[in-house]
């Protein structure tokens, strides 16, 4: 008998006193928003919502029309949720408080509404990444400072990937579990319970166009992979780069690998490219819950104390033995 997201959530609620029902109801609401975003991506070429919106976001990126549509769908679909105090998004400069009266035990939702959006006009995989934190200030209206919690404080992390199939992958701290959208019923069905990342791999993911900018530990690691059986690793490696973090992380959750977006010598990426609060932190929780590791090279990503809503961080995540090797190279430069 197949288990759908609602049943999984009800079972988790019944067996898990770590989180109240309100959290699971919020997760279900977010999943329904992802289902709507999948439909919007699916029909974009048919209804003329491909291409650029002609404005830049707070990141300095040119927004795609679908970046804005996905953001609007997440906002509209969650604003009325009584357990939600405020949201933060890659596509919004400031946080947005919901209209709910302040009550104790509410949550903060953070999201990247459309990840890998440079892929969206070439029909390559894109996704949505989300993270849920407890709102520390139970009485006063939520502030931006409330969002600046280390990733270890997340009560839920997840993503949807809009690829050949639409999948939802999430964790509430008890393993990482994958659900596949059954388009006819609109249900997310549990297809990948307790995903587990192999400790070893022969596959790495990095944008090698930036090689000349990398710092020496990353250069050493990648050069050794490229040297294959002729080099110190004494095995051949393969390289994959989908240019959508959700797709590269999904592959790693399914068959292992290591994903790197390091900081480099350029001003624009001196802290890396990926955003800590709504890309690196949720993906790091999902990877760790699946037995992998996620590091900046110097420290565990989930232990970073944030200082700004849209701050960036270097990310090296995936198969444990590879991330340990990368940390070793960074500590012994
Ligand atoms: P977003 O589309 O949300 O801005 O994120 C894109 C990110 C991430 O998904 C991906 O791994 C990375 O950018 C790709 O960077 P390059 O364009 O340098 O390959
Ligand atoms: Mn973007
Ligand atoms: Mn992104
Ligand atoms: Mn995005």
- Tokens at 64, concatenated: 């795609």
Closest CA to 88 of 276, 248, 270, 313: 276
Nearest atom (ligand 1) to Cα of 59: 4
Angle between helices 281-289 and 245-255 (to 10 degrees): 10
Q: Is 273 known to sit in a ligand binding site?
A: yes
158 Cα to the center of ligand 3, angstroms = 13
Give the per-residue pLDDT at 105: 64
The pLDDT of residue 104 is 59
In the chain, % of residues over pLDDT 90: 86
Q: How far is the centre of ligand 4, averaged over its atoms, from the C-alpha of 67 (Å)?
A: 7
Q: Mean of the pLDDT values across residues 227-253?
A: 98
What number is the average pLDDT over the span 11-32? 87
How much is the average pLDDT of 267-296?
Answer: 97
pLDDT tens column, 94-136: 999 987 666 656 899 999 999 999 999 999 999 999 999 999 8
Give pLDDT tens digits for 41-82: 999 999 999 999 999 999 999 999 999 999 999 999 998 888
Q: Which ligand is nearest to the Cα of residue 89, counting in written order?
A: 4
Confidence of residue 333 (pLDDT cuts 50, 70, 90): confident
Summary count for the chain: helices (H), strands (E): 9, 15
Angle at 89 between CA 301 and CA 294, to 5 degrees: 15
Tokens of 22: 């309100």
Is residue 234 predicted with pLDDT exceeding 70?
A: yes
For residue 272, the ligand closest to its alpha carbon is 1
Region for 325 from its dihedrals, namely left if φ exceeds 0, alpha if ψ lies in -120 to 50, beta otherwise: alpha
Q: How far apart are CA 112 and CA 109, in angstroms?
A: 10
**How much is the pTM?**
0.97
State the distance from the centre of ligand 4 to the C-alpha of 139, rounded, in angstroms.
Answer: 31
Residue bearing tokens 């069905």: 189
The pLDDT of 167-178, averaged and rounded, is 96
Residue bearing tokens 């990926």: 274
pLDDT at 290: 98
Does 12 carry a binding-site annotation?
no
Question: Where does the chain have alpha helices with state H?
Answer: 5-15, 21-42, 44-47, 65-78, 144-147, 216-227, 245-255, 281-289, 320-331
What ipTM did this prediction achieve? Answer: 0.99
Q: 293: part of which helix (H) or strand (E)?
A: strand 293-295
Q: What is the structure's pLDDT at 137?
A: 75
For residue 16, the model assigns a pLDDT of: 75
Ligand nearest the Cα of residue 247 is 1
Residue 153 contacts residue 147 (beta carbons within 8 Å): no
Residue identifier of the C-alpha nearest atom 19 of ligand 1: 243
Pocket test for ligand 1, best of 68, 69, 115 (most atoms within 8 A of CB): 115
CA of 263 relative to ligand 1 center, distance in Å: 14
Q: Which residues line ligand 1 (CB under 6 A)?
A: 61, 90, 112, 115-118, 207, 243-245, 273
pLDDT digits (tens, 9 = 90+) for 71-95: 999 999 998 888 899 999 999 999 9
Q: How much distance in Å is there from the Cα of 125 to the middle of ligand 4?
A: 13
- Torsion 262-215-323-301 (CA) sign: negative
In 3-state terms, what secondary structure has residue 164? Answer: coil
What's the token pair of residue 126? Answer: 């894109």
CB atoms closer than 10 angstroms to residue 238: 12
Report the residue among 59, 65, 66, 243 best suited for mutation to probe ligand 1: largest number of ligand atoms under 8 A from its CB. Answer: 243
- Residue 76, marked binder: no
pLDDT in the model for residue 100: 65
């Amino acid at each position: 008998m197949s288990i759908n997201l609602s049943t999984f959530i009800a079972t988790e609620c019944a067996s898990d006193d770590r989180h109240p029902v309100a959290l699971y109801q919020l997760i279900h609401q977010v999943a329904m928003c992802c289902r709507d975003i999948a439909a919007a991506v699916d029909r974009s070429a048919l209804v003329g919502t491909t291409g650029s919106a002609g404005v830049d976001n707070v990141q300095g990126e040119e927004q795609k029309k679908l970046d804005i549509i996905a953001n609007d769908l997440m906002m509209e679909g969650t604003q009325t949720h009584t357990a939600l105090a405020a949201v933060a998004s890659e596509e919004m400069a400031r946080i947005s408080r919901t209209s709910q009266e302040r009550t104790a035990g509410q949550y903060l939702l953070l999201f990247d509404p459309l990840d890998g959006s440079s892929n969206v006009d070439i029909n390559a995989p894109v996704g949505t990444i989300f993270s849920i934190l407890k709102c520390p200030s139970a009485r006063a209206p939520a502030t931006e400072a409330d969002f600046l919690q280390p990733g270890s404080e997340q009560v839920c992390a997840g993503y949807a990937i809009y690829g050949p199939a639409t999948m939802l992958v999430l964790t509430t701290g008890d393993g990482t579990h994958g659900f596949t959208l059954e388009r006819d019923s609109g249900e997310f069905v549990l297809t990948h319970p307790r995903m587990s990342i192999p400790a070893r791999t022969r596959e790495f993911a990095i944008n090698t166009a930036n090689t000349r900018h990398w710092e020496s530990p990353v250069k050493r690691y990648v050069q050794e992979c490229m040297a294959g059986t002729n080099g110190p690793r004494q095995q051949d490696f393969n390289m994959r780069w989908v240019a959508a973090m959700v797709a590269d992380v999904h592959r790693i959750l399914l068959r292992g690998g290591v994903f790197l977006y390091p900081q480099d010598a350029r001003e624009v990426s001196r802290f890396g490219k990926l955003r800590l609060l709504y890309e690196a932190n949720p993906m790091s929780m999902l990877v760790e819950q699946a037995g992998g590791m996620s590091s900046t090279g110097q420290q565990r990503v989930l232990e970073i104390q944030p200082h700004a809503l849209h701050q960036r961080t270097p990310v090296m995540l995936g198969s444990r033995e590879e991330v340990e090797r990368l940390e070793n190279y960074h500590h012994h430069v």
